[in-house]
Every structure is written in C-alpha cells, then in structure tokens.
Amino acid sequence: MSKEPERLNVAVIGLGMGRHHLAGYHKYARSRAAAICDSDPGRLAQFAAECKLPPERCFSDHRKMLAAARALDLHAASVALPNCLHAPITLDCLKAGLHVLCEKPMAMNARQARAMLDASKKARRKLMINFSYRFMPQTQALKRIVDSGALGDIYFGRTAWHRRRGMPGLGSWFGIKAQSGGGPIIDLGVHRMDMAMWLMGNPRPVTVSGSTYSVIGPRVAKEHGKTFDVEDLGCALIRFDNGATLILEASWAGFSEKREDMVTQLFGTAGGIIQRNTGEGYDFEARVYGERDGTLWDSKLQETTFPVKSAYEEFVDAVLDDREPLATGQHGLDVQLILDAVYKSGATGREVRIAR
C-alpha cells in the first residue's frame, strides 16, 4: 500500500470460520469486507447474497482474486482455510502485497510458519494469527492482573481442553493428518497453550516431553466408514528459558468427566489464577488467589468495564496504525515449534529440545 487508506478493504478466504471474520470486518467502522473466496459454490453464493457482494468480488479460486487485487483495491486478507492451506495461501497473499490475518494454527509445522513470518517481513506486511481466546474480555482482564505483578513470577501452569466426544466434522479434513497436521493438540491445544503462554509473558520454550494417543477416534471413524489418522488425545510438559513449566492437555475423545472441559491455571510467587468453562459449554469463570497480611484469599472476576477489541478490529487497527498486532507471527511460530516438538516427542518417546 503506498498510502494508508482510511478504511481497510479485506478479502475473506474460506467461509466456514471465515464467516465470523466477514461479520467482524463488516461491523467495524475502519474496515469493509471487500471480497470473498471459497471453493464451495454453495457457500460462496450464500455469503455473496448475505453480504450483497457483486459477482466480480466473489471468487472460487484465490489466485484469480489476487490477480484482481489492485483493481478491487484490496489491502488485506483473512485466511480461514483448512490448516494445510494456511501457509501456501498466506504466502500468495503476502506476495500480492496484502496484509494477512491467518487462522490458528499458523501452519502445519514450524518450517511453514517460519517461511510465513520471513515472507511477511520481506514484504513489509502485517501477519497476525487469530489466537481468538486472547480477545475475550475475561482473558484481557487476567492479562491486566498478571501484568500488574499480582502473581509475582509465574513458575508453573497447566492448560487443558478435553472433550468426551467431539471430533470436528468426523471424516472431514480435521481428522486427516495430511490436511490438518494433527488432531486436538494442533486444533484445541493451540488455543489453551497460546492463552497460557501469553498470560505468562511469552517466555521462550526450550524443551518438550509429550505423548499422543489415538484410541477412540479410529474406532468411531471406522464404524462410520470415515478416515481418522491423527491423535485423539495429546499431552506435554513444556519447559521455558525462565525456568517455568507448563503442562498441556487436549483431547477430542476420552472418558472424561465433562462433555467439554477447559481450564488454565497459573501459579506465581505471589498469587495464582484459574480460568475455566462452566456448564460444560462456552461460558467461562475466572478467579485470582493471593495472600495478604497472613491470610489466603480468593476473588472472582465479574464483568469488565474497559473496551475490548475483537481480533478483526485489532488486525485492522494494526495495519492502519502501522504497528505490531497483539498476536504476532512470531507468537504463532513459537506455538508451532512446541506443536512440532509434542508430535516428535510422542513419536520417539524422548524429550525434544527446541532450536530457534
């Protein structure tokens, strides 16, 4: 972009999760959803009608859209595609001069993630990863509490997302390793891991010892005549350069107590926090623990009073105001290095050292 526009014209590629990106750009005064792309003609037609976009702004092939980027005055793109397409299509968008908000996980592996980060630097374009749990008001409130020093130095954490049964779209790309890169560790674990690491101040991961299991997924998939070749449960112990340790757990299937069970707990030298879902769904509660004048206390977070941006607003603001977004490509790469290490450790049975 030669001159920063007043309003960012964003193309959304992939209209599953991408429909939330569309709504986000549509709602925000500083952006507009200027083009859409999906290889599924039904989805494309549905959102073309809903967004009242003319045919010249609707594409089934992202290459044709990028070829028309200048004519359409596109500034940025949201990549909300199956994981195997994050890297190649992000690279195409960056090459076409667009800033990119890419869905989590950043890529299939750290090699791809690094190529994306390098390309964004070379093209001088912003690259943000949609670690959406950071953008919940409650998470931002916890971040403020941690940053105020209330926990002291954080030395231990556990972060988990378990489902009793919840393989997304059984038989879809999610359960096929060549398209997803992995199962619940790369799909759900990514959210909880990023959230914990962000609250911890993004220390540098140095070693990972992990295990992966595929116990229930293959049996259930077989019963339905579907393919499933990823883990259905994974866990890891991650050590950081500041001496802190994080335990990560994620599953799509297992005999867990709750249908949906999420928790992130951090222990510091002066206090602790816990954030977890309630009612086996997507409502969350959070508490802070401390000690004052010889008494241990805890308090529950109620609603926040400060304004919180959506991920889409944050991306648009970062581009228009020419600053780093809250969730950077580097954070995406750090998470991806750990994911690679969990899978490698699970396959070899050995601790993996992370080299940068």
Side chain identity at residue 12, one-letter code: V
Least Å distance between CB 11 and ligand NAD?
11
In the complex, the residues that contact ligand NAD under the rule CB under 6 A are 13-17, 37-40, 43, 62, 80-83, 85, 103-104, 130, 132, 187
d(CA 317, CA 327): 13
The answer to whether 200 touches 142, Cβ cutoff 8 Å, is: no
Least Å distance between CB 334 and ligand NAD?
17
Token readout for 119 is: 């390309």
The answer to whether 184 touches 174, Cβ cutoff 8 Å, is: no
Sign of the CA dihedral with 100 first, then 105, 108, and 112 last: positive
The answer to whether 167 touches 228, Cβ cutoff 8 Å, is: yes
Closest CB to ligand NAD among residues 168, 201: 168
Closest CB to ligand NAD among residues 174, 267: 174
Least Å distance between CB 104 and ligand NAD?
5
Query: In degrees rounded to 5, what are phi and psi of residue 86?
Result: -60, -50
Token readout for 165 is: 């049964």
The answer to whether 141 touches 130, Cβ cutoff 8 Å, is: no
Chain-centre distance of CA 158, in angstroms?
18
CB-CB neighbours of 254 under 10 Å:
18
DSSP state of 21: H
Closest CB to ligand NAD among residues 63, 350: 63
d(CA 219, CA 222): 5
Closest CB to ligand NAD among residues 13, 216: 13
The answer to whether 92 touches 74, Cβ cutoff 8 Å, is: no
Least Å distance between CB 109 and ligand NAD?
14
Closest CB to ligand NAD among residues 89, 233: 89
d(CA 314, CA 304): 18
Closest CB to ligand NAD among residues 104, 239: 104
Closest CB to ligand NAD among residues 183, 271: 183
Query: Minimal CB distance to ligand NAD: which residue?
Result: 16
